Amino acid sequence: MGIRKIDPRRCDGCRICADHCPMDVIRMDEDRNKAFIKYLDDCQSCFLCEAECPKEAIWCYPVREKRVAPAW
Ligand code: SF4
Ligand code: SF4
């Protein structure tokens, strides 16, 4: 659900996504100066990160998924 990918080729390390995420899902890799998805399960699909990224480096899945356990 929610955030799916941060493209490291587009990301310039501006930190806007990490600063805006209300759930603290995104962190910065300080060595590479790139954002990455740290706590995917906490994402609330609010789309703030995707909307605020000036480099269009973030892709969020538009529908909240239902995770269904297999019957077997
Ligand atoms: S807002 Fe976009 S460019 Fe800035 S750190 Fe996040 S992913 Fe990278
Ligand atoms: S969609 Fe919202 S909660 Fe999920 S990573 Fe982006 S800003 Fe954080």
- The CATH number linked to 33 is 3.30.70.20
Determine, yes or no, domain membership for 54: yes
Determine, yes or no, domain membership for 67: no
Cβ-contact 3, 36 below 8 angstroms: no
Total domains in the chain come to 1
pLDDT tens digit sequence for 43-64: 999 999 999 999 999 999 876 5
Q: Tell me, what's the pLDDT at 68?
A: 63
For residue 17, is pLDDT > 60?
A: yes
Determine, yes or no, domain membership for 32: yes
Determine, yes or no, domain membership for 13: yes
Cβ-contact 44, 64 below 8 angstroms: no
Identify the domain containing residue 41 by its residue range. Answer: 2-59
Ligand 2 atom nearest 60 alpha carbon: 1
Determine, yes or no, domain membership for 66: no
* Ligand 1, atom 1: closest residue by C-alpha: 53
Determine, yes or no, domain membership for 69: no
Determine, yes or no, domain membership for 19: yes
Q: Tell me, what's the pLDDT at 62?
A: 76
For residue 65, is pLDDT > 60?
A: no
Confidence of residue 9 (pLDDT cuts 50, 70, 90): very high
- Please give the sequence-ordered ranges of beta strands (E in DSSP) within 1-72, or none if there are none: 2-6, 26-29, 34-37, 58-61
Cβ-contact 60, 49 below 8 angstroms: yes
